[in-house]
Structure 1
């Protein structure tokens, strides 16, 4: 898969009044609220061209999609607060793919610090999602750099004539295609969602491991078959799992318009972290052909009872 040259993150802070000097406020709040090493990373990027703070009257920005914000958990009160905002501060950051994802960590930390100082809502423009203050704070990396992937990724699913269609929304932040699965039986919605969370964690680890060494490559080869286990599911949620049970799935790189793709709305990821449609996706398939393979995978991973609910 091609490696993007640069990834971008954008967060919006909805303000009831303009901030006289957003850069100064961001610097002071990050210094006061954020622990190292994230504090040092955010302050270093804040003082460089990698981070921009763009404050304008709200009417000068494109309107935020209220329907999607509501679908992803925004309350009526939160949406009303957005409508009441007179100004928007757009926090944008850019960085190369790899670990750490400094563009996301810095932009989210800066937006969260400014929003806390002004008691203002923060919108993750990628998702899009309104981030509650406690959620935003919890999602930031601790001193060891660990994060819960589930704080940075959503897993929406929609019903269709042959089952549910799943797609991740968050892997594109890191330069990866999103994962998708078609025709998931209704009884497997919960276990298959758990499996996809763990698989996303495993694929992200493989991706970042291949970007850690030396000069950034132009392309990265990921294996066609990937193991995913209970440990990966726990890691995606920031917990531990003593059982080492794993199953194997197959990944197929699809692009809209190619054979094997569905063309359903939203069935694409974005390698430039913009969340736009029309990019490649990784379709998740059983490693072996045969009937009831999704059921067999879930039963093998979670046990016969938990794998069918």
Structure 2
């Protein structure tokens, strides 16, 4: 039987977005309120306006050269359009939209800052940069990522899954779970034929781990730490839920999480629940019903 992993709960979480303006907007907070009321639907609108009217959300407008430069190489790597890169490079002013909020649901710090930045960017035709990633969010991507009337989101709209090639396979690391207070997930030495299925499995696992985290936060009043199971099941329903879809088939596999704290920030390394050769291949085959790579 697996044991528990004890994870610290941050006192507050922070969301930051940048809007690159060709010219300085007048009265940005008043403009933000006006545009949010115009462009954001309830019930999200009420949350955003409440954050705007509180000290939890700040708007910091300055000449562009008074901010550290936005990382053009990373923005390009995350598929920013050339026109957006040119607009960011030529911006006279940047507006930093920042918010802080307690861990839990809803993630008001992220929803409010993304909605405010998106409303201002849409009004001015200005690029919006998600500083956490970092990447440029198109108006369509930004609007689609915000929660609907049911308060649900697609996790994949808030999390990326970059991977890099190494001598023994691919290295996967999620980028987005930290928005909710969790360590990111990582897997080393993923065989090339598993590039797509292992990515899908990690998306589903991220959804399952986030649900476990939120359940624990909701069960305790301002906890300092949360215990998560070392052995976690991930199923086809989790994979679908990460994409905002539903899945009727209830097929699951188990993985083991290991908390690694040696680096700059802690990460959760994803391992097979049981060691053995072809263990990642076996997990993907069991979950997705795919043959082993050697018989493809």
Q: TM-score, normalised by structure 1?
A: 0.92
Q: For residues 293-308 of structure 1, what are the structure 2 equivalents within 5 Å? A: 293-305=279-291
Q: For residues 112-123 of structure 1, what are the structure 2 equivalents within 5 Å? A: 112-123=118-129
Q: For residues 230-241 of structure 1, what are the structure 2 equivalents within 5 Å? A: 230-241=236-247
CA distance in 2, matches of 1:82, 1:15: 8
Residue 267 (structure 2) aligned to one of 281, 289, 304: 281
How far residue 122 of structure 1 moved from its aligned partner, in angstroms, is: 0.2
**1:11-61 deviation digits (Å, cap 9, x = unpaired):** 000000111100000001111111111100000010111000000000000
In structure 2, the residue matched to 1:182 is 188
CA distance in 2, matches of 1:173, 1:112: 18
Is 70-79 or 127-136 further displaced after alignment?
70-79
Residue 248 (structure 1) aligned to one of 254, 259, 265: 254
How far residue 152 of structure 1 moved from its aligned partner, in angstroms, is: 0.2
Higher strand content, 1 or 2: 2
**1:182-216 deviation digits (Å, cap 9, x = unpaired):** 00000000000000000000000000111113411
For structure 1, the 5+ residue unaligned runs are: 258-277
For structure 2, the 5+ residue unaligned runs are: 1-6
CA contact 2:282–2:292 (8 Å) conserved in 1 = no
CA contact 1:300–1:307 (8 Å) conserved in 2 = no
CA distance in 1, matches of 2:24, 2:141: 25
CA distance in 1, matches of 2:34, 2:291: 53
How far residue 306 of structure 1 moved from its aligned partner, in angstroms, is: 8.8
Quote the RMSD (CA, aligned, Å): 1.2
CA contact 1:7–1:94 (8 Å) conserved in 2 = yes
In structure 2, the residue matched to 1:156 is 162
CA distance in 2, matches of 1:201, 1:307: 26
Inter-CA distance 255–214: structure 2 relative to 1 (3 Å threshold):
closer
CA distance in 2, matches of 1:306, 1:107: 44
In structure 1, the residue matched to 2:276 is 290
After the TM superposition, which segments of 4 or more aligned residues of structure 1 sit over 4 Å from their partners?
306-309
CA contact 1:177–1:281 (8 Å) conserved in 2 = yes
Q: For residues 80-119 of structure 1, what are the structure 2 equivalents within 5 Å? A: 80-119=86-125
In structure 2, the residue matched to 1:50 is 56
CA contact 2:281–2:292 (8 Å) conserved in 1 = no
Inter-CA distance 300–81: structure 2 relative to 1 (3 Å threshold):
same
Inter-CA distance 307–152: structure 2 relative to 1 (3 Å threshold):
farther
For the residue of structure 2 that corresponds to 1:222, the secondary structure is strand
How far residue 255 of structure 1 moved from its aligned partner, in angstroms, is: 1.3
In structure 1, the residue matched to 2:145 is 139
CA distance in 2, matches of 1:7, 1:177: 13
How far residue 77 of structure 1 moved from its aligned partner, in angstroms, is: 1.8
